Every structure is written in structure tokens, then in C-alpha cells.
């Protein structure tokens, strides 16, 4: 199986050409020993990640005042009618696939070591914003896009239930949430939700969608840049809403990954409900000012409800601290690390 690393997993800046993006997407297949950052310098990826808890001395963003008050987390005009976890808390997540270190933190170390680092990173956000306590979350890639269509022609490889169970148990035992991330290939949102239903029925399990992996007939993940229409994401919201009602479980979070404009279309069709909170997560590694501009565009200029922000421990230049991240406007309620 060839694991793909691009977009929500490793997308660069929007200024890249289609050919450059295609090359970047396939880089994860070529090597898992080094990762190339925006400077072109190869960086070793054999060492565990270290939680970032304060601005670095050389960061040009250290000490700057932002325009986003910490208590302003909803996008302009939005409200939250649910009783979901985001009303009072912030989620700090580690993202990845336990089978592949190149795809994120979850594959870098054993689960227990990863959880300790996640707790340390989460505590840094609680310290930066005591009024909104941070909760650790594991964002586990439950279905991974691949270039091989497989026997069912979906171009995805689903993580076995027993491996998901291992991380579900880890999350529950440590007071964390579990975000099950789906890379759709040629599957559908409805099919992936149904496949994960036994886990989504649990009160601490939520859903994330890596939108750039959803390709149409004749397209291949990792070769062709995919995208999701707002109507399909609205269908996911409706499915989660029904699940909450039918199973009598706490409200859900739907995290929608996007690393450049146009990958999620017709956003006006995406509406949160009384049972589902919706987060638009701005992805992609690169220079800090480019990442901030991207967040302003994808979250601020194309609002849904809440904003999320992804950070890359090795590729970001520089890696923003919790205090710097929380100066974004609106302040992200989900911060995920890869």
C-alpha cells in the first residue's frame, strides 16, 4: 500500500503550481526518512516531536499583539446552539496514521509516549487561555487514500477495527477525544460514516474529513487534486445529527480540512445544527505569514462556524507558539499538529 502525504497531511502554500503540488503529494511515497520543508532543506524525521509551549526567541511573531480576542471563537454571524465540546473548550490534536511516521505524530512513537507529549502540548494551550480549557484529541486517519484502487475501487485503505479500538481505548483512558479522519478517495461520506458508526456512537468519538482526497471517475488520489462540494459535507452534518438523535449520545464535532481555496465549494450549504458543531480547519505547512493569511481567507472570509488551524512540527517556518496561534481572529477552537 502506498500512503499519500499531501494537502491536509502536508500541503504547502497556495502559490505552488499544480505540477509542484503533485510532486509534493507523491513525496511521501518516495521516502519516510526525510521531509522537505519550504526552504528546500531536507530535515530528519527520525526524532520524536517536542511539544512547543512558548514563542521562540527568534520568532518575529513573539510578543506581537493580535486582533483576535481569546473569547471570540465563532466566526462573524455564527452561533452555537449545541451542547458540544467546543462551546467551552478547545481541542488540541495530534494527527496521523500509526502505520506511517511520515503522515504525522501518531506514527512517530509508541501510543503512550505520543499521549504524554500530546498532554504537554494541550496544557500549553490551557495556560495560554485559561478561560477555555484545552482537551487532548487524537486525530486518527481511519481511511487512507492510495493510488491503488483496491478490490472495491475506492482508492482507500481502511484501518482495521482493532487498530482503531486501540486508540479509542487510549483516548478514553486519558480523558481525550478521538477524531476519526477519512480520506475519501472514490468512496462517499455516507459510506465512511456507516463503516465507522460503531465508533461514532461512542460519546468521545468525532469525525474529520480530508477533503482534497475525494476524487471523481478517472482521477487518482495523489495525482489529481480532489475536492468536496458543500452539499456533501452538509450530508455528513445531517448524518451525524441523526446519529446523535437515534443513539441518544452527546453532540458531535465535524472537522473539515482544507488547504487551499476551491477545494471545498459551496460552503454556504454547510450549516451546523443543534447536535453538530462544524470546524473549518486551515491546513498546509509553510511560512508563518502565509499560514496566517490562509487562515484569514479560508476561515474568516468564507465563514461557517468555528476555525481550526494545523501546525507542522518540522515543516513550518517558524512553528507558531500557542500564544501566537491564539492571536488569530477568530481564535481557533481546534489546533492540530502533524
Q: What are phi and psi of 96, to 5 degrees?
A: 155, -175
Q: What is the mean pLDDT of the chain?
A: 80
Q: What is the mean pLDDT of residues 309-329?
A: 94
The model's confidence at residue 85, banded by pLDDT at 50, 70 and 90, is very high
Contact present, 213 and 7 (Cβ < 8 Å): yes
Query: Does the pLDDT at position 41 exceed 50?
Result: no
Q: CA-CA distance, 184 to 205, in Å (whole number)?
A: 19
- Give the pLDDT of residue 81: 94
Is a pLDDT exceeding 60 seen at residue 12? no
Query: Does residue 70 carry a pLDDT above 80?
Result: no
Position 18 pLDDT exceeds 50: no
Give me the pLDDT at residue 57, please. 40
Is the predicted pLDDT of residue 151 greater than 90, yes or no? no
Alpha-carbon distance of 133 to 152, in angstroms, equals: 43
Q: What is the pLDDT of residues 204-226, one digit of tens each?
A: 999 999 887 766 777 666 666 66
How confident is the model over 226-271, as pLDDT tens digits? Answer: 678 899 999 999 999 999 999 999 999 999 999 888 889 899 999 9
Residue 150 pLDDT exceeds 90: no
Which pLDDT score is estimated for 26?
34
pLDDT at 44 > cutoff 90: no
Task: State which H helix or E strand residue 170 sits in.
Answer: helix 161-173
Q: 230 has which bridge partners? A: none
Give the domain 18-45+78-337 fold. TIM Barrel (3.20.20)
Predicted pLDDT of residue 301: 86
Mean pLDDT, range 284-308, rounded to an integer:
92
Residue 80: how many other CB atoms lie within 10 Å? 18
Cβ atoms of 231 and 269 within 8 Å: the answer is yes
Mean pLDDT value across residues 284-295: 92
Specify burial of residue 287 (Cβ count, 10 A radius: 0-12, 13-18, 19+). Answer: middle
Q: What is the mean pLDDT of residues 58-87?
A: 71
Domain boundaries, the chain: 18-45+78-337
CA distances from 62 to 27, 57, 58, 144, 152 (A): 32, 7, 8, 36, 50
pLDDT of residue 153: 65
Encode pLDDT of 152-174 as tens digits: 767 777 899 999 999 999 999 99
Q: Which one is predicted more confidently, 302 or 269?
A: 269
Instruction: Specify the higher pLDDT residue, 18 or 96.
Output: 96
Give the DSSP H/E element, type plus range, for residue 138: strand 134-145
CA-to-CA distance for 266 and 262, rounded, in angstroms?
9
Name the nearest CA neighbour of 255 among 200, 208, 190.
208
Q: Give the residue, 314 or 214, on which the prediction is more confident.
A: 314
Amino acid at each position: 500500500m502506498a500512503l499519500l502525504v499531501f494537502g491536509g497531511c502536508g500541503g504547502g502554500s497556495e502559490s505552488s503550481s499544480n505540477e509542484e503540488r503533485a510532486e509534493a503529494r507523491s513525496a511521501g511515497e518516495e521516502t519516510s526518512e526525510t521531509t522537505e520543508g519550504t526552504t528546500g532543506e531536507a530535515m530528519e524525521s527520525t526524532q520524536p516531536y517536542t511539544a512547543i509551549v512558548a514563542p521562540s526567541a527568534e520568532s518575529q511573531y513573539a510578543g506581537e499583539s493580535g486582533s483576535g480576542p481569546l473569547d471570540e471563537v465563532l466566526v462573524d454571524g455564527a452561533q452555537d446552539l449545541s451542547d458540544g465540546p467546543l462551546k467551552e473548550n478547545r481541542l488540541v490534536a495530534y494527527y496521523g496514521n500509526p502505520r506511517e511516521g511520515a503522515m504525522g505524530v501518531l506514527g512517530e512513537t509508541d501510543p503512550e509516549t505520543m499521549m504524554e507529549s500530546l498532554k504537554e502540548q494541550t496544557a500549553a494551550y490551557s495556560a495560554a487561555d485559561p478561560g477555555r480549557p484545552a482537551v487532548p484529541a487524537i486525530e486518527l486517519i481511519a481511511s487512507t487514500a492510495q493510488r491503488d484502487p483496491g478490490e472495491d475501487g475506492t482508492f482507500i485503505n481502511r484501518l482495521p477495527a482493532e487498530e482503531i479500538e486501540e486508540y479509542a481505548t487510549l483516548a478514553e483512558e486519558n480523558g481525550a477525544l478521538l477524531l476519526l479522519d477519512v480520506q475519501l478517495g472514490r468512496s462517499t461520506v455516507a459510506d465512511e460514516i456507516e463503516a465507522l458508526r460503531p465508533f461514532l456512537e461512542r460519546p468521545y468519538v468525532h469525525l474529520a474529513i480530508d477533503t482534497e482526497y475525494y476524487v471523481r471517475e478517472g482521477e487518482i488520489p495523489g495525482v489529481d487534486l480532489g475536492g468536496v462540494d458543500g452539499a456533501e459535507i452538509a450530508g455528513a452534518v445531517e448524518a451525524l445529527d441523526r446519529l446523535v438523535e437515534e443513539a441518544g449520545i452527546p453532540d458531535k464535532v465535524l472537522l473539515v480540512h482544507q488547504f487551499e481555496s476551491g477545494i471545498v465549494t459551496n460552503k454556504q450549504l454547510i450549516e451546523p445544527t443543534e447536535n453538530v458543531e462544524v470546524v473549518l480547519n486551515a491546513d498546509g505547512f509553510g511560512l508563518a505569514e502565509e499560514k496566517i493569511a490562509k487562515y484569514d481567507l479560508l476561515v474568516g472570509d468564507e465563514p461557517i462556524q468555528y476555525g481550526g488551524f494545523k501546525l507542522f512540527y518540522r515543516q513550518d517556518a517558524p512553528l507558531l507558539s500557542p500564544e501566537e496561534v491564539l492571536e488569530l481572529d477568530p481564535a481557533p477552537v481546534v489546533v492540530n499538529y502533524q
